[in-house]
Amino acid sequence: MNIKKRIVPAVLVVSVISSGIATYNQTLNVEASSNHLVEQEKKQQEARVTNINVLNTMTLQVTFNKPLVAEDVDPNNLENIKKQFEFNHGMSIVNVPRLKTGAKSTYIVPVTIQMDDTKYSMSYKGQRVKTFEGTDEKIDIRNTQQVTNDTFELESFLEDGVTDYANIIEAYRAGRGDLAFELDNRNKDENGKRFEIISSLRDRVVTITGSNGERFVANYVPFTQAADGRQAPKFRLPAGQQLKPGVTYTVTSKWADLENKRFKAQYIAPLKLQSAEAIDNKTIKIVFDKDPGMELFAGRSIELQGEDGSTVQAQYRFSSRKGSVGIFDVTSNTLKTGVKYRVVPMNNWATADYIPLIVK
């Protein structure tokens, strides 16, 4: 009798525990199923690639079934956006997709240099893989010329059927004025003229070889490719290097076909600093002796040498030039109130007599 009494509660305990485990497992299964449905619904809401056109060796034109959300085209989110595009053969995007003016969901997508006749695959956000064939088609560039002792430019023209992407994307339309226009899916304008498109030159390079045997890889200077109403992106030699007067230089590129690829270097007098004014302890207004007429301050830096022995560096704020005036932002430390600084251009891109600056 006592044995039975002991067995029955034990059976009940096992039954209750088993029931609890079953209920717990059911709850987990319901939650997992719910999460799976949420994930599936999220994927269904994501934009999907419907078409890929290869425009040139560094540019794709990608059409989605719907517009991309703001966070997926935000330049501040570039590193995350890069992960959304998965390619084979080591390809990647180099800047964010840009919606074409007048299009609903067709984007200009700059990529690393393609290999000709190579089959590429692309998956967006883990979706079904799309394929396209790589090309070595380059963009026609008419001229190259020196603009400073360490910088030169490559210039193309609308009349030659070449347009910078800044002219035909929605993000820049308002600021391009008369230069803004629309292209259809075949990149023809309203008159039927077809255009080659220069996509973002972020991280692009060209090679420059001198008749004296010198050879350099020159880097694109950010924010210069469609500045001052021209299609004349600037490229700069490595820090400390300069073009030598009298030497003939030849420019070659994996993405540009240059019609006039040579220029003879000459000495160009650098800009001269006239005055400096601290807007606050992190921002400086620099006035030069003349307006360079183009975005030549880009990528330039100055050093502020304090009488107390401290040093502070500042870099030009892209696109801040107003005539001969440029804004420079402090990149290391901050300016000290009451300390007198001497302003010195770095790497000899400009000259300066004793230019004092004091933060009040």
The span from the CA of 133 to the CA of 148, in Å, is: 39
State pTM to two decimals.
0.86
214-221: Cβ within 8 A, 24+ apart: 214/244, 214/247, 216/241, 218/152, 218/251, 221/151, 221/295, 221/298, 221/299
> Is the CATH number of domain 271-358 2.60.40.1220?
yes
What token pair was written down for 327?
A: 């804004």
Tens of pLDDT, residue by residue over 296-311, are 999 999 999 999 999 9
CATH 2.60.40.1220 residue spans of the chain: 49-133, 271-358
Q: How far is CA 75 from the centre of its chain?
A: 7
The span from the CA of 23 to the CA of 13, in Å, is: 15
Query: Is 91:85 a contact under the CB 8 Å cutoff?
Result: no
∠ at Cα 111 (106, 117), nearest 5°?
100
Q: Could you tell me which CATH number the domain at 49-133 has?
A: 2.60.40.1220
- Contacting residues for 45 by C-beta, under 8 A, at least 6 apart: none
Tens of pLDDT, residue by residue over 99-158, are 999 999 999 999 999 999 999 999 999 999 999 999 999 999 999 999 999 999 999 999
Tens of pLDDT, residue by residue over 315-349, are 999 999 999 999 999 998 899 999 999 999 998 89
Tens of pLDDT, residue by residue over 214-241, are 999 999 999 999 999 999 999 999 999 9
